[in-house]
Amino acid sequence: MEQRRSRSKVFLRNAADFLWPPRSLVSRERGLGKGPLAPHEFGQIHFLGGAVCDRCGAPLGAEMDEGAVCAACIARPPRWDRARAAFVYEASSRRLVLDLKRSGRRDGLGTFSGWMAQAGRSLLDEADVMAPVPLHYARLVSRGFNQSAWLAGALARRTGVPVAVDALKRTRRTPTQGGLSARARRRNVAGAFAVRPRRAGSVQGKRVLLIDDVLTTGATLGACTRALKKAGARHVDVLVLARVVRETDVTI
Ligand SMILES: [Zn+2]
């Protein structure tokens, strides 16, 4: 009996491995065990767990106090209240994001939501509801998934914070932001988001946590924040998987 049970467990584990092959999320090598990254790959990811700017989540000098704000945010405060990112978007971490965003690879979601929950713990604790950044309907149909909604769903399963998955919508199709300057990105997405009138109750008077995969210049997240606040959201925070730290990394 005991033997049969352990054998069925092995079978189940093998079946799970077949459905979700334990390949590295970076190198795609097989047989690395249960972890999604090989140790040397894990060491190349710059997690934003130390001192960060309270407004934009950019790394600060280690001597800065909690709640400190970076020079860029003092000069030009973002529309949202606070932002956090799990790791820096750069050459060594790019594949993690692109496999999720472009290839629809889902097997990293459990790991990613764990990293995001850690980086955004206080934001999640205080959030009433999460709202993923939406794709335009036509793009959603052609791609078949919205990676930001996947991240929000994985975070909801982990934390119990509800998701208003369709609270925000894109009111018009915008050209891709890739290769545009910060100013052009802001112009590109200005007024491109709105809260669906029938879903206004899910954000009105609430503390909303916006979820996205990457924070680049913040143009998209700023436009979403504006739409949420216009619909009556009391407070808007931002939690992303990765954030660009240097301008030269703006390639997404
Ligand atoms: Zn900042």
Per residue, what are the HEC states of 96-120?
HHHHHHCCCCCCCHHHHHHHHHHHC
Half-sphere exposure of 23 (CA within 13 A, CB side): 14
DSSP state of 216: S
Domain residues for the domain of 185 are 27-249
CA of 69 from ligand 1 middle (Å) equals 5
Structure tokens at 132: 């993923």
CA of 73 from ligand 1 middle (Å) equals 4
Residue 19 located in a structural domain: no
Residue 120 located in a structural domain: yes
Residue 1 located in a structural domain: no
The whole-number pLDDT of residue 226 equals: 97
Distances (CA, A) of 85 to 51, 59, 160, 216: 12, 10, 20, 11
Residue 232 located in a structural domain: yes
pLDDT in tens, the chain (252 residues): 444 445 444 444 444 444 444 566 766 665 545 556 777 778 889 999 888 999 999 999 777 777 899 999 999 999 999 999 999 999 989 988 998 888 888 888 999 999 999 999 999 999 999 999 999 888 888 888 999 999 999 999 999 999 999 999 999 888 888 888 888 899 989 889 999 999 999 999 999 999 999 999 999 999 999 999 999 999 999 999 999 997 554 455
Backbone angles phi, psi at 213, to 5 degrees: -80, -50
Q: What is the pLDDT of residues 97-114, one digit of tens each?
A: 998 888 888 888 999 999
Residue 11 located in a structural domain: no
Residue 151 located in a structural domain: yes
CA of 83 from ligand 1 middle (Å) equals 9
CA of 92 from ligand 1 middle (Å) equals 23
Mean confidence (pLDDT) of the chain: 86
CA of 52 from ligand 1 middle (Å) equals 8
Residue 85 belongs to domain with CATH number: 3.40.50.2020
CA of 149 from ligand 1 middle (Å) equals 25
Residue 9 located in a structural domain: no
Q: How many domains does the chain have?
A: 1
Residue 217 located in a structural domain: yes
CA of 3 from ligand 1 middle (Å) equals 57
CA of 51 from ligand 1 middle (Å) equals 11
CB 244 within 8 A of CB 89: yes
Half-sphere exposure of 111 (CA within 13 A, CB side): 17
CA of 58 from ligand 1 middle (Å) equals 6
Structure tokens at 120: 């955004």
CA of 78 from ligand 1 middle (Å) equals 8
CA of 64 from ligand 1 middle (Å) equals 12
- d(C-alpha 71, C-alpha 53), whole Å: 9
CA of 4 from ligand 1 middle (Å) equals 57
